[in-house]
Amino acid sequence: MRVLDIGVAAGYAVLCITLIAVLSPYPLEGSAATAASDARASSAVAGYIQAVGLQFLGTASLSQLCASLQASSNASVTLGGGIGGTTCGHAPADYVGASDVKFTLSGEQVEIEAWVAGQ
């Protein structure tokens, strides 16, 4: 009887601990943070394009674009991109969100990327 009692109690405890581990809310917090950071990165991309104007992106050389991207980056958002497949700017080692947009201007493919740094 005692063995049965201990067995049922232990089995129930294992089941509960397993369920608690499976239904852990911590991975969800991480996913939410990533989604929010991705959205912040896409806003940064749109904000940069709006700030420099499409005519700049359509006529700038790669070096001009790279200088502009670097000047617009800050501690929390790093910008990168390129023209015609040649890119500049690198993702920071520890970033939590990213976004990139590619489009064609005057026959050249332009790419703008943004990475949001981790806290």
Per CB under 8 A, residues contacting other proteins are 1-2, 5-6, 8-9, 12-13, 16-17, 19-20, 23-25, 28-29, 31-32, 35-36, 38-40, 42-43, 45-46, 49-50, 53-55, 58-59, 99-103, 105-106
Which C-beta is closer to other proteins: that of 88 or that of 108?
108
Q: How far apart are the first and last CA of the chain?
A: 55
50: which 2 tokens? 């709006």
Which C-beta is closer to other proteins: that of 66 or that of 110?
110
